[in-house]
Chain A
């Protein structure tokens, strides 16, 4: 019996990148939920049963950014994403930003352009499996 696919929520404002990630994740057997704003992500979370991982960019459309999303996620009452591993995939990586994400409980921080999608996906797989 095939296990139900793991769900990944992808938050990314750039359309082409969002599409590429969706394709790759789908190829790797994940179910992908996409959002380009924090608001959209919250909406998506409402309609979905659960998520197993979050692929999060920092700069997003709308007023709120990735950091705001993580903060919201980790609040009580958001049981859908409170304990979900968050993988930050961003092109900006100032020490403050990284520290902030990590202190809020992000799993890992990737500089987008330095990695193949495949590598990041492998990391996600490992993390979920653990």
Chain B
């Protein structure tokens, strides 16, 4: 740096001085040359004048020899004269007359001579160069006032040039010496005034660059550097303070940024969590959609009609079975109120009741309905309409399923007819046997002896068994079909029980059985199907009678048991009517207890004791009791006796829709 600036300035100065010198040298050279030219021109003029003087007459002018001699003389007088030439007008041309050198007379004059002749002015010009440089002076010659020719005097400038050159060289030497001195001085001055302050400032700037603001500039000069130093110091201070405030700001902002970065990081992780959740939800939604697709597919392939409606009954979904069964397409069903399409052939009250159950009571409606197909045919269906509620018990939808039972009904009807016919076909021959045996025993075909009577009795008994079996089987078939009905009405169970006991009196008396009846005080009339109740009580009591040996005992107990009370060893869940029939009979073997309620089962000891018995009675009553909401069970010990218990809630038997009753 130090070198650079100084160097530049020095170069500049050198350049300036060089230029100065060159121009000075040039000027000097030119002026010297001029001077010399003037001098020579004067000398030439002198020569020419002398020549001119010599040639005063025209005749003289012709006297070339004389001129030549004159020329020679001049030349001797001036050593620097290279040549002298006299041009004379000859005719209309200016030609060489006399020359000092070997130039041929008669040569035409060159342009310079011609020009000088014509213009009657002296001319001088430099010809050639370097060592051969010559000054050519051309002077017009007058004779009696008229220009007769020119005299050309050529001076060699060899010496002159050499003189000039040497003088210039001397000048240059002196000049250079002075310049060197000056430069040295200038350099030192510069160094002090400019370089040092600059370097100082430089160092200060470096210090500032190193964040050290303590470097003090000591520039007291009043010039621009001083101002600069002052400015620098102010600037340095500014820089310092701004640096400080900048640092503070940076710190602050860094802190803010860090905080923001933290927040962003939190947000980012929150967003990632949300994305994760969304992904999970998407996955779940996909799963649900797949499940939904499965369910939709499943529901569409179901044989029964499935219809979903809004709370007003407008159809929003109908499965394919709707078309199969009703003949109306799914599109026809959409958007219409359910039922309008099926032209509701039943009475108004039915539909009002239906709506009441599902809309007002928000309960499931189950029942049989008759609808009309598109082709006008009626069909019977088992319908179930379930209201779907949200968690505030507000209606969202109705879901209705309809099971076309027409075929089932037809099958049912066919079965019923079959059972009817079968019973007729089975019972007819049995009736025949029954009645003819009756007539024989009555003696209608003649008197019979004891032995004949005995045999006939056996026939009768066997027949009776068959009849009982057929009756029981017919009941079982109705129970199995599930379409037997339970039709309840207020029933006096005490009365029924008493009448059953009364019915069995003949047998009881015959076997000398002791029967004790206990009827609770407040046994109410309760909702029951009297016929079925009778079947139950009859079965239990006839069993007790059948399977108790002569002179045994039977206890009949009928009472109301409150909630939490006991029947036998069993706790009662709700207030019930409880019937128990105990006997001191043969009991039920332990290993056969589990089969006692099964179809056609008779315990070994029962078969041994009593040939009569279908093995269906307990099955039948258990079926009835189970389907009507009661409970039946027993305790028994072989050789000691048996107790059968039956309970019904006081609210009564469960009503059951059906088409058949059982036979007694």
Q: Which residues of A does B touch, CB under 8 Å? A: 14, 16-17, 20-21, 23-24, 27, 58-59, 90-95, 111-114, 116-118
In whole Å, how far is A39's beta carbon from the nearest beta carbon of chain B?
A: 21
- Some 12 contacts from A to B, beta carbons below 8 A apart, are A14-B428, A17-B431, A17-B432, A20-B432, A20-B436, A24-B435, A24-B439, A24-B444, A27-B442, A93-B663, A113-B467, A117-B435
Which one of B421, B428, B434, B467 has the highest number of Cβ atoms from chain A below 10 Å of its Cβ? B428
In whole Å, how far is B524's beta carbon from the nearest beta carbon of chain A?
A: 27
Q: Does B660 contact A92, Cβ atoms closer than 8 Å?
A: no
Cβ of B438 under 8 Å from chain A: yes
Q: Does A95 contact B432, Cβ atoms closer than 8 Å?
A: no
* B 417-429 binary contact with A (CB < 8 Å = 1; else 0): 0001101101110
Contacts of A94 in B (CB 8 A): 416, 420, 660-661
Contacts of B424 in A (CB 8 A): 58-59, 90-92
Q: Does A113 contact B434, Cβ atoms closer than 8 Å?
A: yes
Q: Determine the residue in chain A with the shortest Cβ distance to B658.
A: A95
Q: Does A112 contact B444, Cβ atoms closer than 8 Å?
A: no
Q: Does A113 contact B439, Cβ atoms closer than 8 Å?
A: no
In whole Å, how far is A31's beta carbon from the nearest beta carbon of chain B?
A: 17
Q: Can you list the 4 inter-chain pairs with the closest CB atoms, starting with the nearest?
A: A91-B427, A20-B435, A113-B427, A112-B431
In whole Å, how far is A21's beta carbon from the nearest beta carbon of chain B?
A: 7
Interface of B is mostly: helix
Q: Which residues of B does A touch, CB under 8 Å? A: 416, 420-421, 423-424, 426-428, 430-432, 434-436, 438-439, 442, 444, 467, 470-471, 660-661, 663
CA of A16 to CA of B660 in the docked complex: distance in angstroms?
31
Q: Does A95 contact B442, Cβ atoms closer than 8 Å?
A: no
CA of A90 to CA of B427 in the docked complex: distance in angstroms?
9
Q: Does B434 contact A14, Cβ atoms closer than 8 Å?
A: no
Contacts of B420 in A (CB 8 A): 92, 94
CA of A33 to CA of B373 in the docked complex: distance in angstroms?
52
In whole Å, how far is B633's beta carbon from the nearest beta carbon of chain A?
A: 30
Interface of A is mostly: helix
Q: Does A92 contact B432, Cβ atoms closer than 8 Å?
A: no
Q: Determine the residue in chain A with the shortest Cβ distance to B484.
A: A95
In whole Å, how far is A13's beta carbon from the nearest beta carbon of chain B?
A: 9
Q: Does B660 contact A95, Cβ atoms closer than 8 Å?
A: yes
Given A93-B663, A111-B663, the answer on whether A116 and B428 have CB atoms closer than 8 Å is no
Q: Does B432 contact A14, Cβ atoms closer than 8 Å?
A: yes
Contacts of B431 in A (CB 8 A): 17, 91, 112-113
Number of interchain pairs (Cβ within 8 Å): 63
CA of A69 to CA of B430 in the docked complex: distance in angstroms?
25
Q: Determine the residue in chain A with the shortest Cβ distance to B430.
A: A113
Identify 7 new A-B residue pairs, CB closer than 8 A, beyond the known A111-B663, A114-B471, A118-B442. Answer: A17-B428, A58-B424, A91-B423, A91-B426, A113-B427, A113-B471, A114-B467
Contacts of B663 in A (CB 8 A): 93, 111
Q: Does A23 contact B470, Cβ atoms closer than 8 Å?
A: no
Q: Does A20 contact B427, Cβ atoms closer than 8 Å?
A: no
In whole Å, how far is B200's beta carbon from the nearest beta carbon of chain A?
A: 134
Contacts of B426 in A (CB 8 A): 91
In whole Å, how far is B107's beta carbon from the nearest beta carbon of chain A?
A: 178
CA of A117 to CA of B431 in the docked complex: distance in angstroms?
10
CA of A127 to CA of B431 in the docked complex: distance in angstroms?
23
Which one of A59, A112, A118 has the highest number of Cβ atoms from chain B below 10 Å of its Cβ? A112
Q: Determine the residue in chain A with the shortest Cβ distance to B420.
A: A92
CA of A21 to CA of B424 in the docked complex: distance in angstroms?
17
CA of A111 to CA of B471 in the docked complex: distance in angstroms?
10
Contacts of A16 in B (CB 8 A): 432, 436
Q: Does B428 contact A92, Cβ atoms closer than 8 Å?
A: no
Q: Determine the residue in chain A with the shortest Cβ distance to B434.
A: A113
Contacts of A90 in B (CB 8 A): 424
CA of A21 to CA of B428 in the docked complex: distance in angstroms?
13
CA of A59 to CA of B438 in the docked complex: distance in angstroms?
23
Which one of B432, B470, B660 has the highest number of Cβ atoms from chain A below 10 Å of its Cβ? B432
CA of A121 to CA of B660 in the docked complex: distance in angstroms?
29
In whole Å, how far is A56's beta carbon from the nearest beta carbon of chain B?
A: 14
Q: Determine the residue in chain B with the shortest Cβ distance to A93.
A: B663
Q: Does B444 contact A27, Cβ atoms closer than 8 Å?
A: yes
Q: Determine the residue in chain A with the shortest Cβ distance to B464.
A: A113
Given A24-B444, A91-B427, A92-B423, the answer on whether A116 and B661 have CB atoms closer than 8 Å is no
Q: Does B435 contact A95, Cβ atoms closer than 8 Å?
A: no
Q: Determine the residue in chain B with the shortest Cβ distance to A13.
A: B428
In whole Å, how far is A65's beta carbon from the nearest beta carbon of chain B?
A: 11
Contacts of A113 in B (CB 8 A): 427, 430-431, 434, 467, 470-471
CA of A116 to CA of B437 in the docked complex: distance in angstroms?
10
Given A94-B420, A114-B467, A116-B434, the answer on whether A20 and B428 have CB atoms closer than 8 Å is no
CA of A92 to CA of B663 in the docked complex: distance in angstroms?
10
Q: Does A95 contact B423, Cβ atoms closer than 8 Å?
A: no
Given A23-B444, A113-B470, the answer on whether A91 and B438 have CB atoms closer than 8 Å is no
In whole Å, how far is A91's beta carbon from the nearest beta carbon of chain B?
A: 4
In whole Å, how far is A40's beta carbon from the nearest beta carbon of chain B?
A: 19
In whole Å, how far is B234's beta carbon from the nearest beta carbon of chain A?
A: 125
In whole Å, how far is A99's beta carbon from the nearest beta carbon of chain B?
A: 10
**Contact check: which of B421, B438, B444, B660 meets A116 at CB < 8 Å?**
B438
**Contact check: which of A24, A58, A95, A112 meets B661 at CB < 8 Å?**
A95
Contacts of B471 in A (CB 8 A): 113-114
In whole Å, how far is B459's beta carbon from the nearest beta carbon of chain A?
A: 14
In whole Å, how far is B425's beta carbon from the nearest beta carbon of chain A?
A: 8
Q: Determine the residue in chain A with the shortest Cβ distance to B662.
A: A95
**Contact check: which of A17, A59, A111 meets B435 at CB < 8 Å?**
A17
Contacts of A116 in B (CB 8 A): 434-435, 438
Q: Determine the residue in chain A with the shortest Cβ distance to B443.
A: A27
Q: Determine the residue in chain B with the shortest Cβ distance to A15.
A: B432
Q: Does B444 contact A91, Cβ atoms closer than 8 Å?
A: no
CA of A24 to CA of B441 in the docked complex: distance in angstroms?
12
Q: Does B439 contact A23, Cβ atoms closer than 8 Å?
A: yes
Contacts of B660 in A (CB 8 A): 94-95
Contacts of B435 in A (CB 8 A): 17, 20-21, 24, 116-117
